[in-house]
Structures are given as C-alpha cells and as structure tokens.
Amino acid sequence: MSLDDLEAPPIGTETSEPEVIDPKTLDRFECGACGYTYEPVKGDSTGKIASGTAFEVLPETWRCPVCGVRKERFSNIGPAGNPSGFKENLRYGLGVNTMTSGQKNILIFGALGMFFLLFLSLYGLK
C-alpha cells in the first residue's frame, strides 16, 4: 500500500455515495432453530452489525446471536407491520385477515376482557 492510496480524491471529483435504504421496508428474518428475529431496523449489537443493515449483506460468518446457527437456517418473514398470513387469503375473513398480529391480539384479548367484566357485573344483579 503506497501513500497515494491513502490520499482523498481531488476536490471537485464526485464519488459514488452508497444508496440509502429505508430500514422499515427491509424484510425481517427468523431463525429456524430458536425463533430469534433479525430486524434490520435494530441490527445486531452482539455481532456489531449496525442498524439499517439488510440481512442479505450480513457477512457469511455472521451467526444467530441466541443459538449460533448459520444464516442458511433463517427464513424470510417479511417487513414489520405487514398483515400476517398469505397474501391470497387477505380478502377473506370479514376483514380480520388484513390485521397485523398485534391488532389481532388486541381484538382477542380485549374481547376476553370485556366478557370477563360482563360476567363480573352479573354478580351485582339481585
């Protein structure tokens, strides 16, 4: 390596900047062995992977921070906030299939809580 290799490019010459990708649009990947989810928005602090790093550009030596399996054992689960299930089934189910898993949890546990309160209120009847 010579001294010329270390010098910055001359002023006025354009350098190609890396393409900026919104990490929220990147797919998440789930470990098939332990269920750990690699989220590009968070990165991996144990593997010193910066946030916003897509799964495809992770080094081949990267392993699951929980169980240590290789990248090949991970499967694509899509971007965060997408409705759960297959795309062809989203139009069925009275609109429930278009909900995310978090919205479905709120609906299910909210309904269970309401019925519990209804049954408790029956004790007040004489």
- Domains of the chain by residue range: 18-80, 83-126
Determine which helix (DSSP H) or strand (DSSP E) holds 38, and give its type and residue range.
strand 37-38
pLDDT band at 106 (very low <50, low <70, confident <90, very high): very high
Query: Is it the case that residue 105 has pLDDT exceeding 70?
Result: yes
The percent of residues above 70 in pLDDT, for the chain, comes to 67
Query: pTM value?
Result: 0.50
Which of 74 and 95 is assigned the larger pLDDT? 74
Q: Out of 27-31, 64-68, 98-102, which region has the weakest mean confidence (pLDDT)?
A: 98-102
How far, in Å, are 39, 108, 117 from residue 26 at the CA level? 8, 29, 41
Using DSSP's 3-state secondary structure scheme, residue 64 falls into: coil
pLDDT at 60: 87
Q: Which two tokens stand for residue 4?
A: 């010329």
In words, the CATH class of domain 18-80 is mainly beta
